[in-house]
Amino acid sequence: MQNILVTGGAGFIGSNFIRYMLAHEPEIRIVNLDALTYAGSMENLANLPDPARHTFVKGSICDGNLVMQLLHEHRIDTIVHFAAESHVDRSILGPGAFVQTNIVGTFTLLEAARRFWLNEKALGTQSVRFHHVSTDEVFGSLGPDDPPFDENTPYAPRSPYAASKASGDHLVRAYFHTYGLPITITNCSNNYGPYQFPEKLIPLMILNAVEGKPLPVYGDGMQIRDWLYVDDHSEAIRRVLHDGRVGETYTVGGDNQPPNIQIVNTICEILDELQPDAPHTPHARLITHVTDRPGHDRRYDIDITKIRTELGWQPSEQLQSGLLKTVRWYLDNPAWVDAIRKQQEYQQWMEANYAGRQA
């Protein structure tokens, strides 16, 4: 692993991954291909450690010629594929972009990797890897007594986002079985931490609470997610790149399953403590139950036995301390927050997703 193509590296997890890898892998160089959609920002890439080892390229994973050019020019031996449309609610209101990026984009990358590594034999297959970053949402929704998701759980996606990610996963596996492309896949749970776009639950609730706006909890708020601190996710991918078995999938999670309402209450309590004199304290007063997400998955839980026993990985961040760090980061970075919140696209999204929901 010397020359890594990271796709979607200006987004939340991709930018954290680049920061983490530059800090932990002194020999690697990273080429970051990102289309800079609403979710990607150069501000996510400020203050990288050793930035000379990072090259940013603005472009789409759907542009096969560009991808081929980057593979050749930088002699890419490792692809870590994050680029995606990633927000379930957006996939409900506009599924087309999800099909394009998450399916066609993944296919385009796979084709380029196949041509460069296998057909042109540019590098030995022992030294190359296509790592696909996927989600636990491909497994669907668990009932109260179902066992947690693991690597053998059948796929049962229920949102357009989840279905598009599932399609991407199937294509990646097909390229391994059919062409022998050296792949690995991680399916992980909900990430949280710095630089997350404030359309997702945790940053949305932090920023709304700080501004004294309603905290829109979908339905009864008893839906359950597993929460993974983003640096733990980066370390999991790093372990898979180093020691993961080619062709294998690893499920990755934070080993906690609180209901959403508990997450929102914890954020409120943290803000009450950090800002006791804020006009909106106690912040829990702002919690407003609103119309539920259509097809809302009720419960996720994830079994990390395989990655723990094979690769010695386990999450190191506790949910409470991770949430405290995250709230502090949003409070300490008002310029980053303002840049996003003042974007017209963001305001339009908030209107489109929330205005029609009944309190």
How far is residue 21 from each of residues 129, 130, 217, 244, 352, measured CA to CA in Å? 16, 16, 35, 17, 37
- Six-digit token string for 264: 């929102």
With beta carbons less than 8 A apart as the criterion, state whether 153 and 139 touch: yes
Nearest position to ligand NAD, beta carbon: 11
Task: Give, as one character, the DSSP assignment of residue 299.
Answer: B
Task: For residue 235, indicate whether it is catalytic.
Answer: no
Q: Which of 129, 131, 200, 280 binds ligand DAU (CB under 6 A)?
A: 200
Of 116-124, 176-184, 188-196, 297-305, the segment contacting ligand NAD by CB under 6 A is 188-196
Nearest position to ligand DAU, beta carbon: 135
**Residue 9 CB coordination number (10 Å):** 29
Q: Which is nearer to ligand NAD, 133 or 241 (CB)?
A: 133
315 binds ligand NAD (CB under 6 A): no
For the chain, the first-to-last Cα distance in angstroms comes to 51
Residue in the block written with tokens 């690597």: 151
Q: SS3 of 180, please?
A: coil
Q: Which of 28, 67, 80, 83 binds ligand NAD (CB under 6 A)?
A: 83
Q: Which of 34, 137, 255, 317 binds ligand DAU (CB under 6 A)?
A: 137
| φ/ψ of residue 231, rounded to 5 | -65, -30
- Binding partner selected for residue 11 from ligand DAU, ligand NAD, none, CB under the kind-specific 5 to 8 Å limit: ligand NAD
Task: Give, as one character, the DSSP assignment of residue 159.
Answer: S
Spatial CB neighbours of 71, under 8 Å, sequence gap ≥ 6: 5, 112, 113, 116, 122
Q: Which of 3, 223, 234, 265 binds ligand DAU (CB under 6 A)?
A: 223
CB of residue 121 to ligand DAU, shortest distance in Å: 35
What Rg value do the Cα atoms of the chain yield, rounded? 20
260 binds ligand DAU (CB under 6 A): yes
182 binds ligand NAD (CB under 6 A): no
How far is residue 134's CA from residue 187's CA, in Å, rounded to a whole number?
A: 5
How far is residue 277 from each of residues 115, 136, 143, 213, 286, measured CA to CA in Å? 60, 39, 42, 17, 16
How far is residue 86's CA from residue 141's CA, in Å, rounded to a whole number?
A: 18
Instruction: Give the x-and-dash track for 91-130 against ligand NAD (CB under 6 A).
Output: ----------x---x-------------------------
- Which residue of the set 34, 85, 89, 136 is catalytic? 136
With beta carbons less than 8 A apart as the criterion, state whether 2 and 31 touch: no
Q: Which is nearer to ligand NAD, 281 or 333 (CB)?
A: 333
How far is residue 114's CA from residue 97's CA, in Å, rounded to a whole number?
A: 24
103 binds ligand DAU (CB under 6 A): no
Q: Which of 86, 167, 184, 251 binds ligand DAU (CB under 6 A)?
A: 86
Task: For residue 161, indicate whether it is catalytic.
Answer: yes
255 binds ligand DAU (CB under 6 A): no
Q: Which of 1, 36, 207, 350 binds ligand NAD (CB under 6 A)?
A: 36
CB of residue 272 to ligand NAD, shortest distance in Å: 26
249 binds ligand DAU (CB under 6 A): no
Q: Which of 4, 6, 14, 32 binds ligand NAD (CB under 6 A)?
A: 14
Residues with a catalytic annotation lie at: 136-137, 161
| Footprint on this chain of ligand DAU (rule: CB under 6 A) | 86-88, 135-137, 189-190, 200-201, 204, 216-218, 223, 225, 260, 293, 300
